[in-house]
């Protein structure tokens, strides 16, 4: 598969399970206010808007999605109630991403739309990467916004909410000068089987194209005690899959005296009773050490999948990107995985059209795809980002050329995936049942190696969250289809 669909698929197709975690305190709104909204020219609809209701919209990566789960948990603990449309909300929050494209413009046009949809008398907050990047300029361009806070300030959210409710017009949380991770017991998870746990926040690398160090601040690892306590609590609550998150999980360093590295943390989390699958993302190749492969080989609870973003197949471009590894060093890590005891699916990220990327550099990326035969990849056109070093590099490439290179990468990868997925026909794989597609009469499962495996089973309900063996009968570029072996 050639883009985000591979991973997004599970989110799109899975059910929206809304179930409180053990840690969640459900608190009813404390006050009610009334307001009038014009719904049509001929009628006015009188509606009640609870003064402590909120609506949140989230963009971006899993880190952002999980940040929103924590923000939601914090708001619920502060007495807010979540609603599913901006016009029912007293507080409208927008958790933003600025990794690519013209994120800022998109945010401002969405904020205008919110203003129209939501009506008067509301509070608006911008969270996440665009908040951090644009800072107080947001108040000038969108004067209806009252709160601007980056992820490094979410620990201060209760205090910021008090300022907001007290009538603060320009409430900000923008300092990156923190050694704290957003470690909260109030996380509101929507999926009752698979849970994210942030183990490290921020990033200390300085890849020339990347805005993350500017928007998420320096690296901060949580203590192993706190990660383990959260994982145990999740297992007790019935979660069977844990996904450890960080911009660079491999550089995890336990700040407590135990001093665990990432490989040790993986082994310990995988050893918790009740946890059947552990995934992690993202790995930086420079910090991806052999001990991680050894930990995975030793423990099948650690899923058969490694996402190892390469970005380019050319050592020259990698140096310009400041990625801190060469093509050969990257391929050495791939060799560890290919010669490991277990078989691992390998996926990656590719950027095409980085400034100065020649046709020969691009060809090296295409050759790398043939050499590694990734199971899936995300591919992006280089997108100039504020504050980043790549902005001043010579040799910026026109958009049409970036588009041409992107299409070539995607076409090549599609052919690789068709071939690799076809090799699985006839095999039996265990899936975690994540959803149901009634129109197709199929269940949606996910394999340990992170493939979507849609399958038939006589049961029409009751399978969500179960682990079943499924025989693969058909394959496509992006998913597999099959029939359940276990039908009891």
The CB density around residue 65, as the number of other CB atoms within 10 Å, is 16
Buried b (16+ CB within 10 A) or exposed e, 414-428: eebbeebbeebeeee
Which of 130, 197, 210, 245 touches ligand SAM (CB under 6 A)? 210
What is the closest distance, in whole angstroms, from the C-beta atom of residue 97 to ligand SAM in the complex? 8
Beta bridge partners of 474: 481
Binding flag, residue 248, ligand SF4 (CB under 6 A)? yes
Q: Please give the angle made by the CA atoms of 190, 283 and 396, to the nearest 5 degrees.
A: 105
Number of DSSP helices (H) and strands (E) in the chain, helices first: 14, 21
Q: Please give the angle made by the CA atoms of 191, 240 and 197, to the nearest 5 degrees.
A: 65
The residue range among 25-33, 184-192, 375-383, 439-447 that interacts with ligand SAM, by the rule CB under 6 A, is: 375-383
The residue range among 1-9, 162-170, 182-190, 205-213 that interacts with ligand SF4, by the rule CB under 6 A, is: 205-213
Binding flag, residue 280, ligand SAM (CB under 6 A)? no
Binding flag, residue 380, ligand SAM (CB under 6 A)? yes
In which residue are the tokens 């209701």 written?
53
Distance between CA atoms of 162 and 91, rounded to whole angstroms?
A: 13
Which of 284, 305, 327, 451 touches ligand SAM (CB under 6 A)? 284
Binding flag, residue 122, ligand SF4 (CB under 6 A)? no
Which of 24, 170, 205, 268 touches ligand SF4 (CB under 6 A)? 205
Q: CA torsion angle for 284, 287, 292, 293 (degrees, to 10)?
A: 70
Name the residue nearer to ligand SF4 (CB basis): 205 or 414: 205
Total residues contacting ligand SAM by CB under 6 A comes to 17
Listed residue (81, 149, 145) closest to 114, CA to CA: 145
- Report whether 381 contacts 353 (CB < 8 A): yes
Binding flag, residue 397, ligand SAM (CB under 6 A)? no
Binding flag, residue 318, ligand SAM (CB under 6 A)? no
What is the closest distance, in whole angstroms, from the C-beta atom of residue 307 to ligand SAM in the complex? 8
Which of 207, 317, 431, 444 touches ligand SF4 (CB under 6 A)? 207
Which of 61, 103, 138, 302 touches ligand SAM (CB under 6 A)? 61
- The packing angle between helices 262-270 and 290-298, to 10°, is 10
Residue 86 binding: pick among ligand SAM, ligand SF4, none (C-beta 5-8 Å cut-off by kind) = none
- Which run of H or of E encompasses 65? helix 62-77
Which of 86, 125, 173, 213 touches ligand SF4 (CB under 6 A)? 213
Which of 2, 95, 247, 250 touches ligand SF4 (CB under 6 A)? 247
Residue 319 carries which DSSP code? H
Output the six-digit token pair for 230.
Answer: 């959260």
Buried b (16+ CB within 10 A) or exposed e, 79-96: ebbebeebbbbbbbbbbb
Binding flag, residue 203, ligand SF4 (CB under 6 A)? yes
Residue 144 binding: pick among ligand SAM, ligand SF4, none (C-beta 5-8 Å cut-off by kind) = none
Distance between CA atoms of 449 and 438, rounded to whole angstroms?
A: 25
The CB density around residue 141, as the number of other CB atoms within 10 Å, is 13
Binding flag, residue 401, ligand SAM (CB under 6 A)? no
Residue 99 binding: pick among ligand SF4, ligand SAM, none (C-beta 5-8 Å cut-off by kind) = ligand SAM
Binding flag, residue 148, ligand SAM (CB under 6 A)? no
Binding flag, residue 212, ligand SF4 (CB under 6 A)? yes
Residues at the site binding ligand SAM, with contacts judged by CB under 6 A: 61, 99-100, 209-210, 247-248, 282, 284, 309, 311, 349, 351, 380, 382-383, 385
**Residues in contact with ligand SF4 by the rule CB under 6 A:** 203, 205, 207, 210, 212-213, 247-248, 284
């Amino acid at each position: 598969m050639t883009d985000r669909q591979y991973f997004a698929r599970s989110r799109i197709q899975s059910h929206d399970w809304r179930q409180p975690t053990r840690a969640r305190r459900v608190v009813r709104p404390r006050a009610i206010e009334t307001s009038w909204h014009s719904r049509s020219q001929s009628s006015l609809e009188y509606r009640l808007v609870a003064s402590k209701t909120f609506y949140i919209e989230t963009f971006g990566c899993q880190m952002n999605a999980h940040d929103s789960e924590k923000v939601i948990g914090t708001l619920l603990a502060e007495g807010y109630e979540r609603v599913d449309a901006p016009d029912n909300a007293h507080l409208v929050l927008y958790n933003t991403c600025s990794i690519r494209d013209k994120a800022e413009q998109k945010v401002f046009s969405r904020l205008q739309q919110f203003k129209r949809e939501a009506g008067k008398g509301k509070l608006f907050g911008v969270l996440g990467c665009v908040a951090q990047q644009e800072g107080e300029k947001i108040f000038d361009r969108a004067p209806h916004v009252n709160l601007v806070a980056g992820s490094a300030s979410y620990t201060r959210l209760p205090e910021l909410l008090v300022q907001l409710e007290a009538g603060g017009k320009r409430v900000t949380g923008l300092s990156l000068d923190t050694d704290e991770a957003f470690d909260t017991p109030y996380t509101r998870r929507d999926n009752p089987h698979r849970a994210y746990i942030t183990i490290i926040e921020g990033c200390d690398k300085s890849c020339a194209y990347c805005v993350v160090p500017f928007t998420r601040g320096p690296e901060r690892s949580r203590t192993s005690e706190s990660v383990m306590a959260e994982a145990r609590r999740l297992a007790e609550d019935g979660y069977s899959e844990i996904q450890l998150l960080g911009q660079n999980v491999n550089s995890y360093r336990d700040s407590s005296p135990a001093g665990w590295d990432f490989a040790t943390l993986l082994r310990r989390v995988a050893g918790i009773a009740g946890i059947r699958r552990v995934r992690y993302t993202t790995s930086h190749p420079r910090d991806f050490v052999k001990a991680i492969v050894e930990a995975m080989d030793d423990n099948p609870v650690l899923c058969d999948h490694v996402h190892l973003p390469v970005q380019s197949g050319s050592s020259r471009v990698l140096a310009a990107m400041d990625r801190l590894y060469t093509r050969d060093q990257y391929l050495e890590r791939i060799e560890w995985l290919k010669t490991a005891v277990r078989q691992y699916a390998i996926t990656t990220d590719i950027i095409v059209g980085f400034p100065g990327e020649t046709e020969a550099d691009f060809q090296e990326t295409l050759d790398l795809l043939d050499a590694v035969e990734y199971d899936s990849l995300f591919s992006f056109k280089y997108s100039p980002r504020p504050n980043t070093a790549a902005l001043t590099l010579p040799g910026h490439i026109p958009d049409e050329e970036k588009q041409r290179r992107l299409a070539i990468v995607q076409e090549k990868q599609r052919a690789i995936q068709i071939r690799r997925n076809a090799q699985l026909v006839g095999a039996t794989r265990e899936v975690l049942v994540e959803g149901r597609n009634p129109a197709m009469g199929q269940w949606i499962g996910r394999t340990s190696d992170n493939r979507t495996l849609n399958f038939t089973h006589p049961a029409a309900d009751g399978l969500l969250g179960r682990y079943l063996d499924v025989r693969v009968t058909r394959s496509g570029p992006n998913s597999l289809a099959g029939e359940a072996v276990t039908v009891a």
